[in-house]
A and B are shown apart, each in its own frame.
Chain A
Amino acid sequence: MRKHFVIYALPAVLLLNVITGCKENEDDSTTTPDFSTSITTVLSNTTSANTTCGSATGLAKVVCLAESFKSTLDATQLSAVQLTYSKANAQRWSNLPEGLYRNRVGLDLASLDETQLAAFRDMMVAVLTLNTSNEGYDEMLGNLVADDYLNTAGGGSTYGAGNYYLAFLGIPSVTGLWELQFGGHHYTFANTYNNGTIAGVTPSFRAIEPMDAVSANNKNYQPMEQERQAFAAMLGALSSAEQTTAKLSSSFNDVLLGPGKDAQFPTTKQGLQVGSLSADKKTLVLNAIQLYTNDLDSETATAFLNKYTSELDNTYIAFAGSTAVTSENDYIRIDGPSVWIEFSYQGGIVIRGTPHPHSVWRDRTSDYGGQ
């Protein structure tokens, strides 16, 4: 008997290993493409399902909607989404898809059912502007649609709306310190609230691949095109002498102050001072800035835009590459006493040979709500 055991065991073990050893290592992210398609379908219906927070306004409304969202979750989901506030957790965002980053905190959209997604939508609609094409809430949605597209266009399961994460850092309240953090591959939203007011809305990361329009739910999305055009208009309006002053000698293939580059604002501003420009050119600079601030609910947007407008004369604009903002290594920077915006065109990742933009909005004083 034993003789047979060894004789048969050898080839059997060999065969077993051959069978198990030849499997491809598959990515273990949790998204199913079918489901993430329906994520954007649910999110694209912006009719609110909420009946309890209708009378609240401002921060009280955001807190009410956050609580409503939390009430739809089970205990496991709740412990994933509700964390204590820490700067370290707030800094856990990235421009990498989750399959490569694997460090985001919170709850992924893939794990939410329709009711929970609707409650998430109601909350995001309260903090982002609604009904502006490719801005605010619509821009966020377009970003998710584009990531779903990358999933099907060769990027695979690490891409897609299901890989975007929501976290409450600190318990949502109208008194304490907390952050609403939502983000994934090409999008990071970070509103920090403290002592009953909005303390910061940055770092805010916006990027897109593909740059061309993507469509879902009978709608076309091109979330970064208006920003691109605003920068091109801003640079194109400058005289050649102004362009020379604004042009940087260095080249850029990404933004300087992306994820992980917190509190590293340059000491010396480079480029062209906006205060030296004519009123119409100043307006073009403000137009570009507005496409970032006005993504937020109107009350918050106005507060930040007013601050940046009052500091406009001491704000500098700079660029590298071409003024048309169409090619790889084209780069724009707006650097003020508070505002910091970068926009960088860089090589394609999933869609080879076609550039795609990264963009970051930071604030020299109120990143992470000043924490």
Chain B
Amino acid sequence: MPNSVVLLNIQSDRIDAEVQIPLSELQAAFGHAVNDSSTGLVARLGPDLREYLSQHIRPVSLNGQPWAVAVGALKVQETKNPINGTYRELTAQVRLVPPVGQDVRQFVFRYDAVLHQVVTHKILVSVRQDWVRGQVVEESPAQVGVIELDIINNRIPTLPVNLKTGSLWTGFRAMVQLGIRHIAEGTDHLLFLLVLLLPAPLLVTGSKWHGFGGVRYSLRRLLLIVTAFTIGHSFTLLLGTLAWVKLPSQPVEILIAVSILVSAVHAIRPLFPGREAWVAGGFGLVHGLAFADTLTNLHLESGPLLWSLFGFNLGIELMQLSIVALVIPWLILLSQTRIYKATRIVGAMLAGMAALAWVLERVSGQANIITIGVEQLADYAIWLVLGLALLAVTSWWQTHKAYSRTLPG
């Protein structure tokens, strides 16, 4: 039978808990027909449920002082696991606040919702987020313990919680790593930037890309684009995280896909020659809003939030710069050869295809064969860079050799 799950988000002066209780189990304990009719359950029984939960969730400090417990949002949702198949569960947001001066990281968790009546029930307690310990990713909650009947003595034990001490530095470092990972996994962000860099070493004549503009010219333009992108997304990351700007994530994600499409077209035919930096900056604003979503979802308090903002952005820049540094030399070499045009056009077309597929995915909410493929391909990115390097070096060498042979000797 399905278990209850308690996920703790540890803050500096309180714990935000999410409690998940399977309705089939709750019904036997709560005494109302909750599982028989879960539609409108929260509207119908909200106050009773909140009352029930605050009676059965009672953390106390080590000196026995009870914590304040406030039951917030309630929701009923369908969930699934391989052992129990599909079932419905109640999700409750519960705020646990220790008395003034009492440690938030050490307490006795008295929790017997459902279990006080259904003695075969189990409650799995885990920490989902603990900033000062550097645990910020929701993927793998760290189990604190299981609350279940002590069968031998027929009583319900309490769960002692004793979290290791953390530090500001640990939290900050984790945020830098999160930023790095975010870009490493953010195929769409990288693709936008790389495709925008494709024509950067080139001169433009009229409405066509032309030959190589020289190393200094290329570097200047490349750096300008990267810097503009950084300024753009840092700005909205700040605004979005501090909740001064809030856009729903779907249009933002669609705009990001559109930004790749625009830069892909531009790489084939110059749409905005010489104004790439402005475009990078403008679309950077959109990308930053998506970064902000990641931070907002962590629900951090203001202290850690500022450090997180700084660390997360630092991680993003570090990763971005290292990838740009990995690619730029080959672009500069390759742009001096005859095959650059083909490389640029094929690259831009593939990126455009991916962008269209993303637009489709983000409008429909359904992954498609191309977006799945791109995500798979991203795992081999290092081989693509190596291939690019190999191509650049060999063609540059061949071009150079041909050129030196034509010189009068």
* A and B held together in a complex: yes
Interface SS, B side: helix
Chain A, 6-25, contact with B by CB distance < 8 Å: what is the 0/1 string?
Answer: 11011101110110111000
**Docked-complex contact A2 and B374, CB < 8 angstroms:** no
Q: Are the C-beta atoms of A254 and B373 separated by less than 8 Å?
A: no
Bound-state CA distance A267–B369 (Å) is: 60
Q: Is B339 a contact of A18 with CB atoms below 8 Å?
A: no
Binds B, one of A44-52, A290-298, A346-354: A346-354
Q: Which of these, A3, A6, A253, contacts B120 with CB under 8 Å?
A: A253
Known: A251-B118, A252-B119, A257-B151. A21 touches B376 (CB 8 A): yes
Whose C-beta in chain B lies nearest to the C-beta of A155?
B85
**CB of A266 closer than 8 Å to a CB of B:** yes
Contact (Cβ within 8 A) A21 B151:
no
Contact A264–B151 (Cβ < 8 Å):
yes
Binds A, one of B21-29, B43-51, B202-210, B282-290: B21-29
A265 within 8 A of B: yes
Q: Cβ of A14 and Cβ of B118 under 8 Å apart?
A: no
How many residues of chain B have a CB within 8 Å of chain A? 40
Question: A329–B121 Cα gap in the complex (Å)?
Answer: 12
Give the docked Cα–Cα distance between A265 and B154 (Å): 10
Partner of A18, one of B82, B372, B384: B372
Q: Cα distance A349–B85 when bound, in Å?
A: 7
B346 at the interface (CB under 8 A from A): yes
Residue of B nearest to A258 (CB): B120
Contact residues on A (Cβ < 8 Å of other chain), bracket: 35 or more
How many pairs of A and B residues are in contact by the CB < 8 Å rule? 98
- Determine whether B350 belongs to the interface, using a CB cutoff of 8 Å to chain A: yes
Select from chain B the residue with minimum beta-carbon distance to A8: B346
Q: Which residues of A contact B28 (CB under 8 A)?
A: 251, 253, 329
CB nearest neighbor in B for A263 = B152
- What chain A residues lie within 8 Å of B376 (beta carbons)? 17-18, 20-21
For B87, give the chain A residue with the smallest CB separation: A347
With A253-B24, A256-B151, A270-B154 already in contact, 7 other A-B pairs whose C-beta atoms are closer than 8 Å: A2-B395, A14-B377, A253-B121, A254-B1, A264-B152, A266-B152, A329-B28
CB pairs A–B below 8 angstroms (22 shown): A2-B391, A2-B395, A3-B343, A3-B391, A6-B343, A6-B346, A7-B342, A10-B384, A17-B373, A18-B369, A18-B372, A20-B376, A251-B28, A251-B118, A253-B24, A254-B1, A256-B120, A265-B152, A266-B151, A266-B154, A344-B120, A347-B24
- Top-10 shortest CB links A-B: A18-B373, A17-B376, A251-B28, A250-B119, A254-B120, A21-B376, A264-B151, A253-B1, A3-B339, A251-B118
